[in-house]
A and B are shown apart, each in its own frame.
Chain A
Amino acid sequence: MNPVNYLYLAALLFTIGATGVLVRRNAIVVFMCIELMLNACNLSLIAFSRMHGNLDGQIIAFFTMVVAAAEVVVGLAIIVSLFRTRHSASVDDARLMKL
């Protein structure tokens, strides 16, 4: 199968994730969309690895997964504490940092 198709799929997934980040308000959903974008990147990395015949892309994908796991821990903690204090998981409600 032509590995370029994987890149198309990765682009599609990234677009869906980006759109979700921009249009959804719920912090959990936004978070999941970010994961989607990360995984789209992983997919394209692995596809490139396959296309070029070396393992660099796969190694970077592992790194990405580790970072994403760590990010999930921190991000979920933030979302939980946000919900506890403000009784809302909407990202638009948390807009105190402005002039």
Chain B
Amino acid sequence: MIALLIAAPLLGAAVLLCGGRRLDRAGHWIGTALAALSFVLGAVLFAGLLGRGAEDRTLVQHLYSWIPVEGFQADVAFRLDQLSITFVLLITGVGSLIHVYSIGYMEHDERRRRFFGYLNLFLAAMLILVLADNYLLLYLGWEGVGLASYLLIGFWQHKPSAATAAKKAFLVNRVGDMGLSIAIMLMFTTFGTFAFTPVLDGVGKTGEGTLTAIALMLLLAACGKSAQVPLQSWLGDAMEGPTPVSALIHAATMVTAGVYLIVRSGAIFNAAPDAQLVVTIVGAVTLLFGAIVGCAKDDIKKALAGSTMSQIGYMVLAAGLGPIGYAFAIMHLVTHGFFKAGLFLGAGSVMHGMNDEVDMRKYGGLRTYMPVTFVTFGLGYLAIIGFPGLSGFFSKDLIIEAAFAKGGTQGWILGGVALLGAGITAFYMTRVMLMTFFGEERWRNLPAASPDQPDVEPAADHGGGVPHPHESPKVMTVPMIVLAFGSVFAGAFFGIGERFVHWLEPVTSFAHGHPPVAAWVVTVATVTVMVLGVGLAWAQYGRRPVPAVAPRGSLLTRAARRDLYQDDFNHVVLVRGGEHLTRSLVYVDHTLVDGVVNGTAAGVGGLSARMRRLQNGFARSYAVSMFGGTALLVAATLLMRAV
């Protein structure tokens, strides 16, 4: 049954990618149907789990032995428990909605069948990742989603920027994957196995140093996949992919795989406090980093990408807090899956109606033209800024409380950062909202698009000029409406009565955090900061007209527009450094290695050039050497005799 869940999208990917053009007409329906089938299976399994007792909800299905070697047992075994079923429902649920949305969004793309094949491949890989019962199988899924992400970011490979972005995402992810593979190797040498249960149960008998090393390597892996500082640079560029991909992979599911990894390996992190501290620091830094970047971007998708980074920073921060945070991290992950996917789909809908324009400075006043998009996007917006009662309010507030509850100075710092992040979130999301849906209609007086500009997205119906904003077809708006429902109600459903926490408790363990101030004070502070952020954004972008050309901006704005110089840093330190390294290695190769080889050859050659002068053709000179040689031999013989 669990295997069937994975088999459905895998079959879809195989059929769609191998089926050829015959399936062009029906491919998107096959892909969507199989994704939906996977969701239905997941729901059935979920219902089955609900029927069991809380401690009895872990099912393991052993499929076959992958590598059955003495002392090295790699099984294909799936583990269904409260944590993985949560992910399964999120992945297949949001995934199915986005499949439906893509039918409309990719309607005019002649490679639509392939797109759905890749989406199904992604679903299968992601399900393997969250359902695996050992780290090696998890690694298989981990690489699988990396591949699917690469293929989908570079889906419009004829655009050089998309091809480069795909390459960048793949390369940066390799760094993290390296961390995961080292962690798995360390686990194998330490525990002799990499199945979850023996590894996580064996933590008590292992030294803290080893555990810290494993935990830090796992964190590196999480940083790569979840776009955390210092491996976050790929996420912004990943927005070159089609918008449904950004919604599914780079907002709702794949980028949260790092959080899943940390929570799943919670026992290791619990036993390595130093590593946990690093996790919280990474989370806190990223949540500010992403938020600051999100404030400065004019590209609507890149602003949302910065926001994704920042929200995952919240999750990682919560996951670093240990048992007081794990459940909240997953809860924020799920609510974020709803509202961020909804926001991205909304952004895609706006782009769909605006000739694929992504610059928010060329939007404005769209609320009357796209009412459904406006309302769903607006609900997602209220959810993400943590408007009381919506889902982001519940999940984010709990993380901020947990951060304060870490205790001591660390608690105050982490809590403060999280609180500040909430304010900045409100600021940048309000900015996106105001620039897109309110204000004057800046797109009316745009200069006509220059004809040499490539028609980047085949979905563009109108050949440049003044766009005619229009609402998207039903096939696109219905998924947005469903996700908007999720954004509104998921938080309350999970949060009230700690329902979600109790659900996850047997897997992740849970401890009540005790913030130094009362919980309601934190909540009030969060809401206050949120209102301040909204107010500031309104003062800057709502009250005054937004210039159609970006002003020069302050030093911080300019830095944030360039992703806080992360790319430049990478370029100077890693790219240049790598170039210098390879150049010096080439130099050593040329001078030292080649020098020895060529020198030997030249020496032998020179010697023989001199030796061959002896062969002058005069028979008598040969005779002299013969006599000389014989005389020498005789003399030597006599000498030996004498001695």
Which residues in A have some Cβ–Cβ distance to B below 8 Å?
18, 21-22, 25, 30, 91-92, 94-99
B198 to chain A, nearest CB (A): 76
Proximity string of chain B (239-276) to chain A, C-beta cutoff 8 Å, 1 when within and 0 when not: 00000000000000000000000000000000000000
Bound form: Cα–Cα A97–B623 in Å: 15
Given contacts A91-B620, A92-B620, contact A22 B615 (CB under 8 A): no
A92 to B623, CA, bound (A): 12
On whether the beta carbons of B612 and A99 are closer than 8 Å, the reply is yes
Closest to A25 in B: B620
Please report the C-alpha to C-alpha distance between residue A94 and residue B621 in the assembled complex, in whole angstroms.
13
The docked-state distance in angstroms from the alpha carbon of A22 to that of B616 is: 15
| B620: contacting residue among A22, A96, A97, A98, CB under 8 A | A22
Nearest opposing residue in chain B for A24, CB measure: B620
A-binding residues in B (CB < 8 A): 612, 615-620, 623-624, 627
Please determine whether A99 and B619 come into contact, CB atoms closer than 8 angstroms. Answer: no
Task: State in angstroms the CA–CA spacing of A95 and B617 once bound together.
Answer: 4
Output the least CB separation between A50 and chain B (Å): 23
Assess whether B616 is in contact with A94, with CB atoms less than 8 Å apart. no
Residue contact B623 to A22, C-beta cutoff 8 Å: yes
Chain A min CB distance to B627 (Å): 6
Given A22-B620, A91-B620, A92-B620, residue A98 in contact with residue B627 (CB < 8 A)? no
Q: In whole angstroms, how far apart are the Cα atoms of A98 and B619 in the complex? A: 11
Q: Which residues of chain B are within 8 angstroms of A99 by Cβ–Cβ distance?
A: 612, 615
Contacts of B615 in A (CB 8 A): 98-99
Q: Which residues of A contact B624 (CB under 8 A)?
A: 22
B617, A21: Cβ atoms closer than 8 Å = no
Write out the residue numbers on chain A whose beta carbons fall within 8 Å of the beta carbon of B617: 95-98
B64 CB, min distance to chain A CBs, angstroms: 72
CB pair B620 A21 closer than 8 Å: yes
Complex Cα gap A18–B620 (Å): 11
Name the CB-closest residue of B to A91: B619
Minimum CB–CB distance from B634 to chain A (whole Å) comes to: 12
Instruction: Please name 19 further chain A to chain B contacts, defined as beta carbons within 8 Å, in addition to the given A30-B620, A91-B619, sorted by A numbering.
Output: A18-B627, A21-B620, A21-B623, A22-B620, A22-B627, A25-B620, A91-B618, A92-B618, A92-B619, A92-B620, A94-B619, A95-B616, A95-B617, A95-B619, A96-B617, A97-B617, A98-B616, A98-B617, A99-B615
Complex CA–CA separation, A95 to B624 (angstroms): 16
Q: A30 vs B617: C-alpha distance in the bound complex, in angstroms? A: 16
Closest A residue, CB atoms, query B627:
A18
Return A77 CB to nearest CB of chain B, in Å. 17
Distance in Å from the Cβ of A14 to the closest Cβ of chain B?
Answer: 11
Residues of A within 8 A of B619 (CB): 91-92, 94-95
Complex contacts, A96 vs chain B, CB 8 Å? 617
Chain B contacts for A92, CB-based, 8 A:
618-620
Q: For residue A18, which residues in chain B have a CB less than 8 angstroms away from its CB?
A: 627
Chain B residues closer than 8 Å to A21, beta-carbon distance? 620, 623
Q: In the bound complex, how far is the Cα of B618 from the Cα of A30, in angstroms?
A: 13
Chain A to chain B contacts (Cβ below 8 Å), 27 pairs: A18-B627, A21-B620, A21-B623, A22-B620, A22-B623, A22-B624, A22-B627, A25-B620, A30-B620, A91-B618, A91-B619, A91-B620, A92-B618, A92-B619, A92-B620, A94-B619, A95-B616, A95-B617, A95-B618, A95-B619, A96-B617, A97-B617, A98-B615, A98-B616, A98-B617, A99-B612, A99-B615
**A contact residues around B627 at 8 Å (CB):** 18, 22
Q: Which residues of B contact A98 (CB under 8 A)?
A: 615-617
Q: How far is the CB of B117 from chain A (nearest CB, A)?
A: 70
Bound-state Cα–Cα, A95 to B622, Å: 11
In the assembled complex, how far is the CB of residue B159 from the closest CB belonging to chain A, in whole angstroms? 65
Give every chain A residue within 8 A of B618 (Cβ-Cβ): 91-92, 95
Point out the residues of chain A lying under 8 angstroms from B620, CB to CB. 21-22, 25, 30, 91-92
Residue of A nearest to B613 (CB): A99
Q: Which residues of B contact A95 (CB under 8 A)?
A: 616-619
By beta carbon, the residue of chain B nearest A92 is B618
A91 to B624, CA, bound (A): 14
Chain B residues within 8 Å of A94, by CB: 619
Query: How far apart are B382's CB and chain A's nearest CB, in angstroms?
Result: 94
> Distance (Å) between the CB of A89 and the closest chain B CB?
13
Which partner residue on chain B sits nearest A18 by CB separation? Answer: B627
B631 CB to closest chain A CB (Å) equals 10
How distant is B629 from chain A, measured CB to nearest CB, in Å?
13
Closest Cβ of chain A to B626, distance in Å, is 10
Tell me the minimal C-beta distance from A56 to chain B in angstroms.
20
Complex Cα–Cα for A30 and B615 (A): 20
Q: How far is the CA of A25 from the CA of B623 in the complex (A)?
A: 13
Q: How long is the Cα–Cα vector from A70 to B292 in the complex, in angstroms?
A: 106
Q: How far, in angstroms, from A98 to B617 measured CA to CA in the complex?
A: 5
- Once the chains are docked, how many angstroms separate the CA of A21 from the CA of B620? 7
- Compute how far the CA of A42 lies from the CA of B558 in the bound complex, rounded to whole angstroms: 107
Contact partners of A25 in chain B: CB under 8 A: 620
Bound-state CA distance A96–B620 (Å) is: 14
Smallest Cβ distance from B615 to chain A, in angstroms?
5
Minimum C-beta distance from A38 to chain B (A):
15
Nearest Cβ in chain A — how far from B247, in angstroms?
79
A97 to chain B: which residues have CB within 8 Å?
A: 617
- Shortest C-beta distance, A47 to chain B (Å), equals 18
* Across the A-B interface, the 3 shortest Cβ-Cβ residue pairs: A95-B617, A98-B617, A91-B619
